[in-house]
Homo-oligomer: A and B are copies of this chain.
Amino acid sequence: MPEIGIHTRLRRSPYYDATVAAGVTAFSPYNNMLLPLAYGDPDGEYRQLMDGVSMWDVGGERQIQLQGPDASRLAQILCARDLSKALVGQGKYVAVCDHRGVIINDPIALKIDDDCWWLSIADSDIRMWARCVAAERGLDVEVSEPDVSPLAVQGPMAEDVVASIFGDWVRDLKYFWFGDAEIDGIPLKVARSGWSKQGGFELYLMDGSRGLDLWHIVAEAGAPWNIGVGYPNPAERIEHGLVSWGGDCDDQTNPFEVRLTRFVDLDVPDDTIGIQALRQIAADGPTRHQLGIVLDGDERRPGHTVWYDVLSGGEKVGRMTCGTWSYKLERNIGYGLVSTSCSVGDPIEVALDDGLRAAKFVDIPFRIEDR
């Protein structure tokens, strides 16, 4: 694969030098930052996450800060989920939709203070979007991207590592809740979150000049647990049913189509962007849904880099939006974004680069018995 051409439009995270020293072999752009995506040992990196603990430079997961008297109002206008009862210190997974009800990002919304929210975003420019909405509606709120760069610690041993650094209070954090902390003079927030289903934390570093210090503190603290380096792991996230906005969604995708119905509240205020469209879609029923796909054959294929057509009875019924070798199923699996006429168990074909491949629809998350 060709190199990534780096220039001044692609920013380095505060952990950049440490990831290079750790042997990063591939970067992906993410919010115009360099996000590590490989360190040369995919099998080992998967096992590290599943069985131990790994640390991830997810500095590309930027925080969009809404600050001012109208911050909470703007947060609600942007998010199709009821935020009125959220408490300071609480985060919620939300769908940010456009006026058509199409998802344009799926951040964690963190209530930092009564007049301050962070949207911890996926890979699209919500800063620009939020500023546009705030200005067009005349709201009294400042939208900015503060100096905050998350470092994720993920895996079944992550809690022990993070508690060894910050104390046992982190063990009591509920999912998506967070608290202030400081280590060696480094200001940060510790949140129970992260883009895996193996458990863990994100350390929201609040001083980019201390990135390498924080990296080394975590690496040293994690040494007794044999901590390794990692990244948002495609095999783990697909096996366990996490949606990749941008990866699994197109320019028409609403939350109901990708299993996010329970994160949408249809009774939010009428000025929430997209809520009228979402109510209509909910009433009509969405035309597509997301199903698991297991390909026939047990030869190990590379991860998908494009979407492939899915055929049922020779007719196109949708597309396969991601694909990975599953260590758990020992099959090649992925998601289909397909017509609601499709059901689990249906035999299908996927039009891969190298020809039609028999496959079947299964439930998400994937189970070994479905292979």
Contacts and interface: CB of A to CB of B under 8 A. Distances in A.
A12 interface: yes
Contact of A322 (B8, B38, B128, B234): B8
A6 B305 contact: yes
Interface in A81-96: none
Interface string A1-15: 111111111101000
B306 A8 contact: yes
Contacts of A10: 28-29, 305
Given A8-B307, A9-B244, A247-B8, A131 B98 contact: yes
Interface string A21-57: 0001111110010000110000000000000000000
A135 B124 CA distance: 19
A204 to B, nearest CB: 20
User: How many identical chains are in the complex?
Assistant: 2
A128 B131 contact: no
A129 B9 CA distance: 20
Which of A5, A27, A133, A137 has the most chain B CB atoms inside 10 A of its CB?
Answer: A5
Contacts of A321: 8
Contacts of A3: 1-4, 25-27, 38
Nearest to A16: B306
A125 interface: yes
Contacts of A307: 8
B133 A9 contact: no
A151 to B, nearest CB: 19
Nearest to A124: B125
Contacts of A8: 244, 247-248, 304-307, 321-322
Nearest to A302: B6
B123 A104 contact: no
A98 to B, nearest CB: 6
A98 B26 contact: no
